[in-house]
Structure 1
Amino acid sequence: MTSWTALADITPAIALGPLDGRYRGAVAPLVDHLSEAALNRARVHVEVEWVIHLTDQGAVPGTSPLTDAEKAYLRDVVATFGATEIAELAETERVTVHDVKAVEYFLKKRLADAPAALGADTQLPALSELVHFACTSEDINNLSYSVMVRGAVNDVWLPAASALVEQLSGMARENAAQPMLSRTHGQTATPTTVGKELAVLAHRLKRQLRRVEAQEFLGKLNGATGTYGAHVAAVPGTDWVAVSKSFVEHLGLTWNPLTTQIESHDWQAELYADMARFNRILHNLATDVWTYISLGYFAQVRGQGTVGSSTMPHKVNPIRFENAEANLELSCALLDTLGATLVTSRMQRDLTDSTSQRNIGPAFGHSLLAISNVAKGLDGLDVNPTALAADLDANWEVLGEPIQSAMRAAGIAGTPGMENPYERLKDLTRGRRIGADDVVVFVKSLGLPADVEARLVLLTPETYTGIAADLVAFLDD
């Protein structure tokens, strides 16, 4: 057997997956929200805010509100959370073999170290047991994931997705009146415009963005089985429901009053379904644009310094759209699995959600990578009016629809000789090519009212686009 260097032993560590390797640059902003380090930072954030909230509310007798300096000290633990703290937590977890307990010990140490920064009279060391007070790990985890996912959606995914939709909408407006032959079932059909077809996709994507923008991010803090058992046993005189609700809302989340040990994750399933639907519509865009490129409707004229084929110099492959297709499929697979898995937990708790939620980052990452690729792909396209016009001019048979429709209307209005319009146009157009002269001769032979005949004689595949150009304006509604 060939003896090769063990790549797993190389430092810095080589990424196992493409999101942390080849495509790191496109998805790096998600690391601040959905990485393991971001999860631990969010946990520290929740634990810090719980200590501050308990003292502000006077929830536990014998405590008093923290000073501004003490609050700033604790919040600075979160603000400065970096490589040193990540390593310390990892070392602690190797002892505890429990990630949330490691966070608890990490923060307790900061309280013990407070006098060195704040002076000997600080009360923080005495409040050590307020860290993780009456909490189960899932009280911290569910709030941490809500904070993290909210940040990933609002700060990273939504801005990228919204920018792409605006880019697409701009292309739709720019090409609102550019005629294009349609293809239904892959066959030539009623002409449309480039802008109208792009607007359809932009409109669909915008609708999904509105759903994501309206998403609620839920949270709970109610103990080991959602009963506030430890809270009431420890301090029966405190209104723990009010304290829990105000704390969750203080974090900017929506309070869930009824849970088991875990927050039920239904909101996550709702969000991931909407994101997956956005992905699938974007996949539709990628495959359509790929097809339009293959028909010559779009020219890939920018970025010509790239290599399209390793052996065929003339080629500029639509790789951005193909890459996007694959990544959208991967993202949807993960989002679908998360949505299906997270809504189910045996009785009061099982751990299937723990591993599942650690894959939220890859689910978002593959979607973000696809969005980036589609944006770059669209940016490299120019509409090819010459190819569009040639395709339209080669397919005069598409005028069979408006001619037979005009015959129907004329017949209803009392014009004689308008019988069997569909069948007569079928005989003229089906299975053979016709040209402008064939259409003119046929129209003039029908005996249509003069104004109708004049209108149809002037009609061409290029002008038979209805009000497609005007429909693009609905993007602004």
Structure 2
Amino acid sequence: MEKEHSMEREHSIEKEHSTDKYVSPLSERYASRQMQYIFSPDMKFSTWRRLWIALAETEKELGLSQDGRPVITDEQIEEMKAHVDDINYDVAKAREREVRHDVMSHVYAYGQQCPKAAGIIHLGATSCYVGDNTDIIVMREGLRLLKKKLVNVIKELADFAEEHKAQPTLAFTHFQPAQPTTVGKRATLWMQEFYLDLEDLDYVLGNMKLLGSKGTTGTQASFLELFDGDQETIDKIDPMIAQKMGFAECFPVSGQTYSRKVDTRVANVLAGIAASAHKMSNDIRLLQHLKEVEEPFEKSQIGSSAMAYKRNPMRCERIASLSRYVMIDALNPAITSATQWFERTLDDSANKRLSIPEGFLAVDGILDLCLNVVDGLVVYPKVIEKHLMSELPFMATENIMMDAVKLGGNRQELHERIRELSMEAGRNVKAEGKENNLLELIAADPAFPMGLEELQASMDPARYVGRSKEQVEAFLREVIRPVLEENKELLGVKAEVTV
């Protein structure tokens, strides 16, 4: 596609703002301008016109003629190219009110601007030639934008994990304190989810194919008529159109439409990204409750209308909210794909107009939020240390028991005493509201030949995080940095929260 039609193009035309009709919050509050353009009428209908040009050029280059004279001329094609972007919406809308057919209305409107070419626009094609091929092109552009943002989320998480790779913190299983990990190691769990999404996205993006031009039931019968049954020439049509539109190939067979399983594949990628973002946002919300980690909070931001002291994790809550929508939305294309009848049915159309664009716009907003959150994520080491040290004696009991066995103790007997003393210390914390005194209880027990100072000296959190730091370093070195290097031209994206 020409440079001026890239998804980065900025539009200076201000759309009239109305307060007396519904406006989707996906465009009003969440999705970026770039993603909104990709699913805009300008993108859609200018792509229709490029497809009509590609078809006309292909037919001319393949020698379409009548009584020895070319059916399509260079002059007609140049006339069509001159009016790709200046779409006469008023003419198309007026015509659609008459004929109740969107494609034929735009064929008519384009023909009004291109009188010399009017008779050959859409020659041999059916509505799905422009409709379905444009849907594929638009989804490809949408996936490219999402890939750029996804790669940048991974980059920001990589930087965060590197910075905090050695910061011990309590791990949680069942949201109960468990063997310590590090802040950076936990971030690699979020990062790996997004990395898997990137693999899925790359696979789907790398396998996108155009429908091509196959006619009303996919048999290319109209081209058999146009080219007088020349099978060899007809075989060249789809590859030539694909090449002109920047694709490697078209689907080898189809009904009137491309397989709706393509939409299912795409929606599943969107849902996967949403699930990963939801998981990360939930973890951050829980950590913010613990006051260990906090999402960005602006100087003038209000957390609550009633409780002025509050710092609610609104960005992460919004991530979770939008993600839930996208995961449910993925059912739409799956059900649509399953219920297509034979070569074509139209019960997909209204559903696709909603489910595909809104899924993309929502994920676009989700990734912008993820970029904003991770870029400004605040870590509170002192709070983390306080929580860790209050639980570490419990975590250290296995090491204490092993040390006591080395000094001559009985493993089974020591295990029972550790269990009893741990339960007593737990009761002191929960029932009495006291500090964890497990180390004092162990030091006072004659079964353990070590004093309190010796036990306290062993409470270095770094001793209990296993290979967390080394795992972060290996994951970044062997998995993430090669991917970031491969996609370095996509790096540098920043995002702001609109509302």
Q: TM-score, normalised by structure 2?
A: 0.79
CA distance in 2, matches of 1:357, 1:144: 13
* Alignment equivalent of 1:269, drawn from 241, 264, 271: 264
Report what 2:63 is aligned to: 58
- Alignment pair present for 1:19 and 2:25: yes
Secondary structure at the counterpart of residue 70 of structure 2: coil
- Extract unaligned runs of 5+ from structure 2: 1-15, 427-435, 480-499
Which deviates more from structure 2 when the two are superposed, residues 300-309 or residues 378-387? 300-309
Report what 1:322 is aligned to: 317
Report what 2:239 is aligned to: 245
CA distance in 2, matches of 1:143, 1:465: 53
1:426-441 superposed matches below 5 A: 426-430=419-423, 432-433=425-426, 434-435=436-437, 437-438=439-440, 441=443
Q: Give 1:63's aligned amino acid.
A: P
* Alignment equivalent of 1:228, drawn from 198, 220, 233: 220
Report what 2:464 is aligned to: 464
Change (3 A) 1:96 1:65: closer
Report what 1:120 is aligned to: none
- Alignment pair present for 1:385 and 2:381: yes
- The C-alpha deviation readout for 1:255-300, integer Å capped at 9, x for no partner, is 1111111111222211211220111111010010000000010245
> Cα RMSD between the aligned structures?
3.1
- Alignment pair present for 1:398 and 2:395: yes
Kindly indicate whether the alpha-carbon contact (under 8 Å) linking 1:19 and 1:362 is maintained by their aligned counterparts in 2: no
* Alignment equivalent of 2:180, drawn from 191, 196, 207: 191
Report what 2:209 is aligned to: 218
CA distance in 1, matches of 2:146, 2:382: 37
* Alignment equivalent of 1:91, drawn from 87, 94, 98: 94
Q: How many angstroms does 1:302 deviate by?
A: 4.5
1:365-380 superposed matches below 5 A: 365-380=361-376
Which deviates more from structure 2 when the two are superposed, residues 246-255 or residues 260-269? 246-255
Change (3 A) 1:389 1:231: same
Paired residues in the alignment total 439
CA distance in 2, matches of 1:40, 1:129: 19
Q: How many angstroms does 1:401 deviate by?
A: 4.4
- Alignment pair present for 1:105 and 2:94: no
Change (3 A) 1:210 1:81: farther
CA distance in 2, matches of 1:300, 1:346: 48
- Extract unaligned runs of 5+ from structure 1: 1-10, 113-124, 449-453
Q: Give 2:237's aligned amino acid.
A: V
* Alignment equivalent of 1:297, drawn from 281, 292, 295: 292
CA distance in 2, matches of 1:270, 1:337: 12
CA distance in 2, matches of 1:81, 1:420: 86
Report what 2:143 is aligned to: 153
- Alignment pair present for 1:49 and 2:50: no
Percent of aligned pairs with the same amino acid: 18
Q: Give 1:74's aligned amino acid.
A: M
Kindly indicate whether the alpha-carbon contact (under 8 Å) linking 1:443 and 1:456 is maintained by their aligned counterparts in 2: no
- The C-alpha deviation readout for 1:377-406, integer Å capped at 9, x for no partner, is 3334310000000001101202234556x5
CA distance in 1, matches of 2:296, 2:141: 37
Which deviates more from structure 2 when the two are superposed, residues 288-297 or residues 264-273? 264-273
Secondary structure at the counterpart of residue 171 of structure 2: strand
Q: How many angstroms does 1:27 deviate by?
A: 2.8
* Alignment equivalent of 2:333, drawn from 320, 329, 338: 338
CA distance in 2, matches of 1:168, 1:443: 46
Which deviates more from structure 2 when the two are superposed, residues 384-393 or residues 258-267? 258-267
Secondary structure at the counterpart of residue 189 of structure 1: strand
Q: How many angstroms does 1:230 deviate by?
A: 1.6
Secondary structure at the counterpart of residue 13 of structure 1: coil
Q: Give 1:285's aligned amino acid.
A: M
Q: TM-score, normalised by structure 1?
A: 0.83
* Alignment equivalent of 1:258, drawn from 253, 258, 268: 253
* Alignment equivalent of 1:131, drawn from 121, 128, 131: 121
Change (3 A) 1:232 1:296: same
Secondary structure at the counterpart of residue 190 of structure 1: strand
- Alignment pair present for 1:177 and 2:166: yes
